[in-house]
Amino acid sequence: MTRFTEARHPGEFLISEASGNRSRDAIVIAAEQSIQPGQVLAGRAVPANVNAVASVASGNTGNATIVLASPAVSAAVKPGIYRGIATAATSVKWEDPDGIAIGNSTHGTAFNKAVKFTIAAGGTATVVGDVFEVAVSIGAGDLEYAAYDPAVDGVDAVRAVAFYGAETGVGETAPITAITRDAEVAGVCLEFLPAVTANQRAEANASLRASGIIVR
């Protein structure tokens, strides 16, 4: 006898949602994705759309300057202030907006992490404690969504559940509806990539809760 496996139905995971369409948003699925209804999604920035502004502290002893690359950020960038504090004349230790270390930049060498820039030494040398910043703002329209992948996404990027499925090819995107807030969902009906471990699923569920999506 031939067996057939029934695929997930749109909205099958949904237990309850807010009145009207308050729990739902129209989102854009990124390229090269195979999304199922109930897929847990991470928001990824569209680098060309993100606003980033670099600055140096007015109280710095040195007069090094910081110039952003084009684009100035990667898809994994977070909103907020990336701060760098000099640890030597040509070395700066950087943290993301959550205070997590992301690496050290060297004057004259491109820094290519979540934020991308080059610091150029000036006539007066940088001293320990000099401060550099990159302020990042991300609007709702600056995000695309993809299946949550811990190898690419921080767990704090988890912020939606796909209502419908979508298939996108190279250079293609697709609009779908997703649950983004004020809802209860059935954990057994949520879809994750095969490589996502049980612990990572639990962390993703906690991140959904922070967005108002409670996993039952």
Q: And the tokens for 55?
A: 């600055």
Distances, alpha carbon 13 to alpha carbons 17, 162, 188, in Å: 11, 10, 8
* φ and ψ at residue 71, rounded to 5 degrees: -75, 160
Convert the pLDDT of each residue in 51-101 to its tens digit. 999 999 999 999 999 999 999 999 989 999 999 999 999 999 999 999 999
Superfamily of domain 14-46+140-215: Head decoration protein D (2.40.300.10)
Q: Does this model's pTM top 0.75?
A: yes
Side-chain-side CA neighbours of 146 within 13 Å: the count stands at 21
Tell me the three state secondary structure of residue 103: strand
Domain boundaries, the chain: 14-46+140-215, 51-137
User: Rounded to a whole number, what is the distance in angstroms from the first to the last CA of the chain?
Assistant: 35
